[in-house]
Amino acid sequence: MNFIRNSVFIVKGLQEFTRNGFEKASKNFNAADLENISINGRSYMITGSNSGIGKVVATELAKAGGTVHLVCRNPERGEAALNEIKEESKNNSVFLHVVDLAKPRDVYKFAHDFAEKGEGLDVLVNNAGCMVHQRNLDDLGFETNFATNTLAVHLLTETLLPLIRKSSDPRVITVSSGGMLTQKLNAVDIQSLKGSHDGTSSYAQQKRQQVVLSELYAVRHPGVHFSTMHPGWADTPAVRDAMPSFYEKMKNKLRSPEEGADTVIWLALSPAVRSIESGKFFLDRQPVATHLPLSRTQESDTDRQSFIAALDEMLQKVKQSVA
C-alpha cells in the first residue's frame, strides 16, 4: 500500500506541484480576487518570515499597507529581512520578533505577552517549518520537528485566538505540504518517537497533523476562518538544505518562492475566501482533497479527538512549566 500510495503521489506531484502545474492552474485565477483591497489598519503575523515563502508573504502584505509582524528564529537573518522588507515595501509598520519555535516555553511566552499587550492581530500565518534528520528531545520531552511543526502551531493559535477573534475578518492560515498525502494520522505516537528516526517521514506526518488540526479548529472556533495550503514544490532555502537530493533532481521543475506563496497571500487577503467553508486544504487557490484515491489514510474521529486532546495536554504542560 505504501508503494502504491507513494507512486500515486509522485505522479500527482509531477502533474500539479511543479512550476508547470502552477502555470496551468494560474490561468483560472480570478484577478479581481486581489484587486482594490485595502488592508490599512489590519495586522498580520507570519512565522518563518526571513526567507522563502514566508518572506514573500510578509513583503507582499507590507506592500499592501498592512502591519506585519515577522517571527524569526535567527536574529541576524531576521534583522536583514526586516530591513529589506521595509525598504522594498516603503512600509515602516513591520516588526521583528525573535522566537525559536522549537522551544515551546519561548513560543508560549511570546504569544501570551503579545496577546496581553492588546495589539491588533487579524491574520496569523503559521509558515515556519523544520526537518531535522536527527532525533532531538528537549527537557520537557518534545522532539524538535514536532515542537516546531505541530506544537508551535497549537501554542500560537490557541494563545493568540482571543486577540484574533476581535478582528472583523479573523483568519488563521497554516502552510502544510503535499507530502502529508502519503501519511495517515498516527494518534498513538504523535511525536514519531517509536522506531528509528526518519526526518522526511516525520515531517510529512506533522504536515498531516496540521491539516487535521485546522479542520478541528474550524469546529472548535466558529467565526474564525481556518485554512491549510500546499505551496507546491517550491525552490526555497528550506528545501535546498533539508532535501538536497530532491532539490538536485527537481530544481529545473520547482516553483519560485513567489509562486509557492501565491495561495497564502490569496488566503490572507481575498474577500472571496470568506465564502469558502473553514478548515479546507488548498492548492493554487482551490480547496482540494486531503487524501489520495484508495490511499487508506483517512483517520477515525476517535483518533482525531485523541490527537487534539494530547496537544491540549501538552499546551497545559508548557503553560505550567512557564508559571
- 108 in catalytic set: no
Active-site residue, selected from the candidate residues 44, 108, 203, 217: 203
Kindly state the cell numbers that stand for 140: 520537557
Handedness of CA 212, 216, 218, 221 (dihedral sign): negative
- Cβ-based neighbours of 152, under 8 Å, separated by 6 or more: 47, 101, 102, 104, 107, 126, 128
Question: Are 176 and 210 a contacting pair, CB within 8 Å?
Answer: yes
Alpha carbons 238 and 19: distance in angstroms, whole number: 17
Catalytic residues: 203
